Amino acid sequence: MPLDVLALTKDLVAIDSVSARSNGPVADRLEAEFRERGFEVERLEYDDPAGVRKVNLVARKGQGTGGVAFLSHIDTVPGTGWDRDPWSPTVEGDRLIGLGACDMKGPLAATLVAADAIDAGRLKAPILVVAAADEEVTMQGARQVAAESKLFRETAPRYGVVAEPTTLIPVYAHKGGASVQVIAEGVAAHTSLDRGISANFLIAPFLAEMAELAERLKSDPSYRNPMFDPPTLGFNMTLNDGDCKPNVTAARTVANMFMRPMPNDRTADVVAEITERAERRGFKVTSRIGAPFHTSPDSEIVNAALAVTGAERAQVVPYGTEAGIYQHHLEVVILGPGDIGQAHTNGEWIELAQLHEAVNVYTRLIERLCI
Spatial CA neighbour of 231 closest among 112, 316, 162:
316
User: How far is the C-alpha of 209 from the C-alpha of 241, rounded, in Å?
Assistant: 19
Taking the least distance from each CB to Zn ion, the nearer of 110 and 244 is 110
Taking the least distance from each CB to Zn ion, the nearer of 186 and 320 is 320
In the list 5, 74, 97, 104, the residue contacting Zn ion (rule: CB under 5 A) is 104
Report in angstroms how near the CB of residue 343 gets to Zn ion at its nearest: 6
Report in angstroms how near the CB of residue 229 gets to Zn ion at its nearest: 22
- The alpha-helical segments, DSSP class H, found in 127-227 are 140-148, 150-155, 199-219
| Enclosing H/E stretch for 258 | strand 252-259
User: How far is the C-alpha of 231 from the C-alpha of 95, rounded, in Å?
Assistant: 35
Report in angstroms how near the CB of residue 345 gets to Zn ion at its nearest: 13
**Contact region for Zn ion (CB under 5 A) — 44-52, 97-105, 145-153, 266-274?**
97-105
User: How far is the C-alpha of 362 from the C-alpha of 336, rounded, in Å?
Assistant: 9
Report in angstroms how near the CB of residue 24 gets to Zn ion at its nearest: 19
What is the total residue count of the chain? 371
Taking the least distance from each CB to Zn ion, the nearer of 31 and 164 is 164
Report in angstroms how near the CB of residue 296 gets to Zn ion at its nearest: 24
Report in angstroms how near the CB of residue 275 gets to Zn ion at its nearest: 30
Taking the least distance from each CB to Zn ion, the nearer of 89 and 336 is 336
Binding flags for Zn ion, 164-183, as an x/- string (CB under 5 A): x-------------------
Taking the least distance from each CB to Zn ion, the nearer of 104 and 145 is 104
Report in angstroms how near the CB of residue 171 gets to Zn ion at its nearest: 13
Q: What is the DSSP letter of 2?
A: P
**Contact region for Zn ion (CB under 5 A) — 99-107, 205-213, 288-296, 328-336?**
99-107
**Contact region for Zn ion (CB under 5 A) — 96-104, 119-127, 204-212, 312-320?**
96-104
User: How far is the C-alpha of 349 from the C-alpha of 13, rounded, in Å?
Assistant: 11
Cα 128–chain centre separation: 19
**Contact region for Zn ion (CB under 5 A) — 98-106, 179-187, 240-248, 284-292?**
98-106
Taking the least distance from each CB to Zn ion, the nearer of 116 and 136 is 136
Taking the least distance from each CB to Zn ion, the nearer of 76 and 295 is 76
Helices (H) and strands (E) in the chain, counts: 10, 16
Q: Is 335 an interacting residue with respect to Zn ion (CB under 5 A)? A: no
Spatial CA neighbour of 202 closest among 189, 183, 223:
183
How many C-beta atoms lie closer than 10 Å to residue 255's C-beta? 22
Residue whose Cβ sits closest to Zn ion: 103
Spatial CA neighbour of 231 closest among 272, 180, 265:
265
Taking the least distance from each CB to Zn ion, the nearer of 62 and 89 is 89
Considering only residues 126 through 165, tell me which ones interact with Zn ion, judged by CB under 5 A: 164
Report in angstroms how near the CB of residue 164 gets to Zn ion at its nearest: 5
Report in angstroms how near the CB of residue 87 gets to Zn ion at its nearest: 17
Exposure string over 281-315, b if 16+ CB within 10 A, otherwise e: eebebebebbbbbbbebebebbbbbbebbebeebe
Taking the least distance from each CB to Zn ion, the nearer of 103 and 331 is 103
**Contact region for Zn ion (CB under 5 A) — 56-64, 101-109, 218-226, 288-296?**
101-109
Q: What are the backbone dihedrals phi and psi of residue 188, each rounded to the nearest 5 degrees, phi first?
A: -80, 135
Taking the least distance from each CB to Zn ion, the nearer of 172 and 223 is 172
Spatial CA neighbour of 232 closest among 212, 253, 261, 210:
261
Report in angstroms how near the CB of residue 104 gets to Zn ion at its nearest: 5
Q: Is 103 an interacting residue with respect to Zn ion (CB under 5 A)? A: yes
SS3 content of the chain, % helix, strand, coil (to 5): 35, 25, 40
Please answer whether residues 26 and 98 qualify as being in contact, where contact means their C-beta atoms are separated by less than 8 angstroms: no
Considering only residues 302 through 331, tell me which ones interact with Zn ion, judged by CB under 5 A: none
Residues that bind Zn ion (CB under 5 A): 103-104, 164
